[in-house]
Structure 1
Amino acid sequence: MRKFFPILQTLRSYKRKELPKDILAGFSVAIVLIPQGMAYAMIAGLPPVYGLYASLMPVLVYVLFGTSRALAIGPVAMDSLLVAAGLGTLAIVGLENYIALAILLAFMVGAIQFVLGIFRMGYLVTFLAKPVISGFTSAAAMIIIFSQLKHLLGVEMAGSNQFHRIFLNALQKIPETNFYDLTIGIVGILLLIGLKKWSRHIPTILIIVVLGILAVYFLNMESLGIKIVGTIPKGLPGFDLPVIEMDNLMQLWPIAVTLALIGYLEAISIGKGIEEKNDEDRIDANQELVALGSANMLGSFLQSYPVSASFSRSAINDESGSKSTLSGLFTVLLVLVTLMFLTPLFYYLPNAILASIIMVSVYGLIDLEYAKRLWIYRKDEFIVLILTFLITLFIGITQGILTGVLISLLLMVYRTSKPHFAVLSKIKDSDYYKNISRFGDEVILRDDLLIVRFDSQLYFGNSDYFKNQLFKYMSKKGDNLKGVILNAEAINYIDSTATRMLTKVIKKIRNDGIEFYIVGAIGPTRDIIFRSGIGKVLPKEFLFVKIKEAVAHFDHSENHTGEHERVAYQRNEPSN
């Protein structure tokens, strides 16, 4: 039970003196979450109150199932944009149907995450490589920022998840700009940036929300055409099961899978990053999938749309001294109070203020420094990043992330199909054998012996490359070649295709009167050698631990002199 409900383990060791810090952290997160949640709901195309609904049950569920003391669960910009992008491609009639599909999407995302967690498949997120995520998030941040121009300009504008369409729509609407909306939005942005630079401990979001409400109320700015949040429903969300229809499931599953993986990646990355900073090791990757999945599924029963972990709110939670997931209880408490009693206070909140909060919050997702480093050091990965960025920016959110994953996988396959193949030779006055291309003047070159190292597993994708490279270097040695040594230290697996290839290669080499040796094979590789056809064409006496032992055997056999000392692998040796 404690494994499935980590809160039970927390309560066993919880100290009373930790409670004030959890209370402070919980309230600090809530102060940011309430206006931020409403703003992010607007990104998702939902009424602002749904940001508050998404800040109740999901946060409470994470308290029970989560393993990170600092993660702050709730609405986030990226997931909100993905919701808008996914639902925006569907022919949805009416706001009620749109809301129903957003809630169904939360249930589907949660179900996918929960199943992945139960089957301990958190490793799947590793297929989302860093360049893909960086390109995707940078493009998504730009789309989010420009999607808020309609609130900053105070105009009605057609929505889109393609940057160029948003930009062109905004240009067309510039003549209709409401100067007062624009002024409030720019002042909000400047205050957010300035106050944050002055001190990170100032509740900047709360300050500009209060100032915006007071300005509109006391200066009667509503009469000037300023767009405001307006009436927010008072009270708690009703309990209702998502409406599940096969047609909707078929339409939503691609975006649900994307959201499930992206949301998990956000949470686990933020959680591990905070733990590294604090030298902690609490977070359980698979349990986090269960926690997020449960939060999204159960949250959908109380009108929540998909949620994940917020970087900014998690940082606040950590800096405020959160000691456990219990801090989330106090976040939920303040959101409850707001829904029950304080929603009328947000009536006069300008949309431009919410837009300024969104713009400043997501600007940090644009990571130019990482792109610069890749351009300098890893141009192949830079290409992955820039292609993901451009496809996300100009074609679509889902297409961008899926294409990025595909390109990064193709790059990985390409690399493994042509791995590093090194020719080794002995360093003068030593027993070390090194790459002759790196230690050219320091090695002893021999015409009668070829020593090679293959730095990858041997499988169907690179078996021909291995064979061609081996025969190429053998042909360079010419008729003087009498022995070949394969350093197999880096070969951790040999599949059936490569086994067949290696068997034929060894048989041909030995039939040509050239000795063949394998050295340094680790336990699993050695097991494959013994169980496969390789062991039939290469006696165990030609398997060695170290290169120098194989060389000694070769030299003795060539010179036909006396006995030699060697360490050969035995068939019954245990695997390493």
Structure 2
Amino acid sequence: MSSVVRKFCSYHTLKKRLPILRWLPQYSLQWLRMDLLAGLTVGLTVVPQGLAYAEIAGLPVQYGLYSSFMGCFVYCLLGTSKDITLGPTAIMSLLVASYANHDPVYAVLLAFLCGCIQLAMGILQLGFLVDFISYPVIKGFTSSAALTIGFGQVKNILGLRDIPRQFFREVYFTFYHIAETRLGDLVLGLSSLLLLVLLKMMKNHLPKQLHRLSLLDRVCHAIVHFVGTARNAVVVITASLIAFCFESQNQHVFTLTGKSTQGLPPFRLPTFSDTASNRTVSFSEMLQNFGAGLAVVPLVGFLESIAIAKAFASQNNYRIDPNQELLAIGSANILGSLVSSYPVTGSFGRTAVNSQTGVCSPAGGIVTGVIVLLSLAFLTPLFYYIPKGALAAVVICAVSGVFDLRIVATLWRVKKLDLLPFLASFLGCFWEIQYGILAGVALSGIILLFNIARPEMKISDYSTVVVQFQSGLNFPAVEYVSDLLYRRVLEASPPRCVILDGLHVSSIDYTTVNGLRELIQTFQQHNVSLLFSNFRPKILSILTSAEIEGLRYFDSTETALGYLHGDDHTHELDDREKPLLNQTERLYS
């Protein structure tokens, strides 16, 4: 017991659970300079995005910033990726809108419960569960979510009000009320979109080699690069200044964000009950209202974060620990709920900015978190003048990179069957997110089980039938193999002997063993032999321990053929079978 406690409290274990202890001793002034630059750049990105994502979640805009700083601080201590930044994302905001009913009390409680579930998964080492969600399912879900989120912002570009949020009704009522479009919102929204695209193109077309440029060119390069990277902040600030000018002249041209709560959020536990329609909703009722969200939100949050972390770890040549990532995300959500955060996860766009700016450690997140806190403390009154059309443009540009239908052409070329889970997930998520994910996972599982139930076999049909299994032999395949042998061998005239070659069989179970026992008995009733060859020692030990009567095993298929035809009558063998003779028999009966 003392050795277990000593191991648990060792410095090695502490470094594993507090990854900051690995990189902090190596920290340098060069790292500090790069982390400050990266943190500042990401901070200028996360503030406008946080405000926009709160709109997607159906919450007051300040909740986007409430959700943007705690994850930065927690991940610095517990995270294993130097690049990733935790905070609100478009997809997570869409999930919150689906399961929190646009109620901040529900949203904050969902963050707490989501964190508890993710923390428990990390402690139980359940990070492997995401391996059961295939890539086509992930792409189907993210593409569907991007389309849903993007179209959901069209109403803000057009300045329409009272449009329902359910996707199909949203599409219908947006076109139904399109004649009510506000010209000011439309012009500002389209201008914001155009400016965001132009700034991104300018940044992407900057020269990579700077040493050949003059000093003036380098300064211009730095300015364009900074403005292109912080383009969301540039567009939101510009749009807000334009809106302020009109409002100061008492001209209400744009739909504005409106008043928001000023200052930092209170530090308190989430509320475990809610008041609705003059009655108190208990904690158990709130859990029932969350429904499948208690499974979908934690899983998607971890899935989104781990996919991003793995991508940038591979790109920058380091490794991450999925279970430690679960602990980091879970802790960030639990502690975030104490400052009124809704569920957060890794952001692909901000992580890309972080990596491209040259961040050296998770400490860059501290700078980002401080910028968000300063914005909450001093800039909240200015949020009133932010036009919703500008925030909508930020969201549309953010999710445009997530929407990827090129995967359809790729799947068509590589494996057409994988289009089924992709389409099930893509189309199902327009109806209900959890049903789309479940449909995709279910179809992927069916395809996987079908491959197990119909194992690939190489059949050599000579005077003796040789069946070589190309994969594992598990219980869903027993009936299929039995029926195949019965139709192809036992119903033939005359019935022929069969050799089962298990060279590639890596797994077997009791149901399969029992099925093979029945198959041997059936062959004996037809007075023909069923022999086994080339099975691995592990598989052979399972077969022999089952004490199957009549089991005959040989070291090789050649030896089994020699046994059937008689070593002294090899001239009776088919010419294609003769090279198979050379070894000795091992017999179990």
**TM-score > 0.5, shorter chain as reference:** yes
Q: Does structure 1 residue 379 correspond to structure 2 residue 416?
A: yes
Deviation of 1:570 (Å): 11
> Which of 5, 29, 34 lines up with 1:16 in the alignment?
29
Cα distance in 1 for residues equivalent to 2:502 and 2:52: 57
Corresponding residue for residue 242 of structure 1: 270
What is the CA-CA distance between 1:310 and the residue it aligns to? 0.7
Distance 1:410 1:113 in 2: 27
Q: Is the 8 A contact 1:234 1:343 kept in 2?
A: yes
Q: Residues 450 and 312 of structure 1: is their aligned pair in 2 closer, same or farther, counting only changes over 3 Å? A: same
User: TM-score, length-normalised on structure 2?
Assistant: 0.85
User: What is residue 446 of structure 1 aligned with on the other side?
Assistant: 462
From 126, 133, 139, the counterpart of 2:144: 139
Structure 1 residues 175 and 496: CA distance shift in structure 2, 3 A: same
Counterpart in the other structure of 1:190: 194
Taking a change above 3 Å as real, the CA distance of residues 492 and 302 of structure 1, as seen in their structure-2 partners, is same
| Residue 107 (1) aligns with residue 112 (2) | yes
- Counterpart Cα distance in 1 of 2:170 and 2:377: 37
Contact 2:490 2:526 in 1 (8 A): no
Residue 323 to residue 489, structure 1, CA distance change in 2 (3 Å)? farther
Map Cα deviations across residues 399-455 of structure 1 (whole Å, 9 max, x no partner).
21222222222222223222222214xxxxxxxxxxxxxxxxxxxx632x2111223
Alignment of 1:156-305 (within 5 A): 156-161=161-166, 163-200=167-204, 201=225, 202=228, 203-220=230-247, 223-244=251-272, 245-278=283-316, 280-305=317-342
Superposition pairs for residues 419-568 of structure 1, below 5 Å?
A: 419-424=455-460, 446-447=462-463, 449-475=464-490, 478-479=493-494, 481-482=496-497, 484-510=498-524, 512-534=526-548, 536-539=549-552, 542-544=553-555, 546-552=556-562, 554=564, 556-557=566-567, 559=569, 566=583
Paired with 1:53 and 1:568, the residues of 2 have a C-alpha distance of: 74
- The two structures have a TM-score, normalised by structure 1, of 0.87
Matches within 5 A, 1:413-424: 413-424=449-460
Question: Does the aligned pair in 2 maintain the 1:500–1:533 contact within 8 Å?
Answer: no
Change (3 A) 1:522 1:64: farther
Q: Is the 8 A contact 2:143 2:404 kept in 1?
A: yes
> C-alpha displacement at 1:277, in angstroms?
2.1
Shift of 1:510: 4.8
- C-alpha contact 2:89 2:347 (8 A) present in aligned 1: yes
- CA shift in 2, pair 1:570/1:353, >3 Å: farther
Helix, strand or coil at the partner of 2:16: coil
Instruction: Please say if residues 458 and 498 of structure 1, whose CA atoms lie closer than 8 Å, have aligned partners that are also in contact.
Output: yes
Residues 59 and 524 (structure 1 numbering): CA distance in 2 closer, same or farther, change over 3 Å?
Answer: farther
Q: Counterpart of 1:446 in structure 2: which amino acid?
A: Y
Indicate the SS of the match to 2:532: strand
2:398 aligned with 1:398, yes or no? no
Secondary structure of the 2:379 match is: helix
Instruction: Describe the SS at the equivalent of 2:531.
Output: strand
Q: 1:311 to 1:412 in 2, by over 3 A?
A: same
Which structure 2 residues correspond to residues 64-103 of structure 1 after superposition, within 5 A? 64-88=77-101, 98-103=103-108
Structure 1 unaligned segments of length 5 or more: list them: 89-94, 425-444, 572-576
Could you tell me how far 1:339 is from its partner in structure 2?
A: 1.4
**AA aligned opposite 2:462:** R
Whole-Å separation in 2 of the counterparts to 1:333 and 1:569: 74
Segment of structure 1 superposing worse, 66-75 or 55-64: 55-64
Q: Per the alignment, in what secondary structure is the counterpart of residue 461 of structure 1?
A: helix
Instruction: Out of 29-38 and 456-465, give the one that drifted further.
Output: 456-465
- 1:473 is paired with a residue of what secondary structure? helix
Contact 2:145/2:429, CA 8 A, preserved across alignment: yes
What corresponds to 2:9 in structure 1? none
8 Å contact 1:150–1:157 — kept in the other structure?
A: no
For residues 140 and 523 of structure 2, the distance between their equivalents in structure 1, rounded to whole angstroms, comes to: 48
Q: What residue in structure 1 maps to residue 213 of structure 2? A: none
Q: CA deviation at 1:523?
A: 4.3
CA pair 230-550 structure 1, distance change in 2 beyond 3 A:
same
C-alpha distance in 1, partners of 2:416/2:144? 19
Separation in 1, partners of 2:584, 2:268: 71
**Residue identity opposite 2:242 in structure 1:** A
Aligned-partner SS, 1:243: coil
Matches within 5 A, 1:22-41: 22-41=35-54
Q: Is the 8 A contact 2:240 2:387 kept in 1?
A: yes
Partner Cα distance (2:112, 2:194) in 1: 38
Task: Give the % identical residues.
Answer: 34
Check whether the contact 1:22–1:327 (CA below 8 A) recurs between aligned residues. Answer: yes
Distance in 2 (alpha carbons) for counterparts of 1:523 and 1:288? 39
Contact 1:71 1:314 in 2 (8 A): yes
In the other structure, the counterpart of 2:16 is 3
Between the aligned partners of 1:367 and 1:311, the Cα distance in structure 2 is 14
Aligned partners of 1:421 and 1:469 also within 8 Å:
no
RMSD of Structure 2 on Structure 1 (CA): 2.4
- Could you list the per-position Cα deviations for residues 16-49 of structure 1 after superposition, in whole angstroms to 9, with x for gaps in the alignment? 3212111111111111111001100110011111
CA separation of 1:32/1:524 partners in 2, compared to 1, >3 Å: closer, same or farther?
farther
- Asked if 2 retains the 8 angstrom alpha-carbon contact of 1:23 and 1:330, the reply is yes
Shift of 1:160: 2.0
State how far apart, in whole Å, the 2-side matches of 1:550 and 1:216 are. 87
Alpha-carbon distance between aligned partners in 2 of 1:339 and 1:27, rounded to the nearest angstrom:
16
**Structure 1: distance between partners of 2:467 and 2:79:** 50
Partner amino acid for 1:252? F
Larger displacement relative to structure 2 (221-230 or 293-302): 221-230
Which piece of structure 1 moves more, 305-314 or 221-230? 221-230
Give 3-state SS (helix, strand or coil) of 1:324's partner.
Answer: coil
Deviates more, 1:413-422 or 1:27-36: 413-422
Secondary structure of 1:304's counterpart equals coil
Instruction: Report if aligned partners of 1:519, 1:543 keep a CA contact under 8 Å in 2.
Output: yes
Match for residue 436 of structure 1?
Answer: none
Structure 2 CA distance for partners of 1:15 and 1:452, relative to 1, 3 Å: farther
Q: Is the 8 A contact 2:260 2:380 kept in 1?
A: yes
Distance (Å, rounded) in 2 between the aligned partners of 1:566 and 1:513: 25
How far does the alpha carbon of each residue in 1:87-120 deviate from its partner, in whole angstroms, 9 at most, with x for none?
33xxxxxx7xx11110011111111111111111
Which of 322, 326, 330 in structure 1 is aligned with 2:363? 326
CA gap of 1:6–1:543, structure 2 versus 1, over 3 A, is farther
8 Å contact 1:147–1:159 — kept in the other structure? no
The 3-state SS of whatever aligns with 1:518 is strand
The alpha-carbon deviation at position 219 of structure 1 amounts to 4.1
- Alignment CA distance shift 1:500-1:239 (3 Å): same
Q: Residues of 2 paired with 1:250 and 1:363: CA distance? A: 34
Equivalent residue letter for 1:503 = R
Q: Distance in 1 between matches of 2:61 and 2:453?
A: 51
CA pair 567-181 structure 1, distance change in 2 beyond 3 A:
farther
Q: Does 1:360 align with 2:374?
A: no
The letter for the 2-side match of 1:486 is L
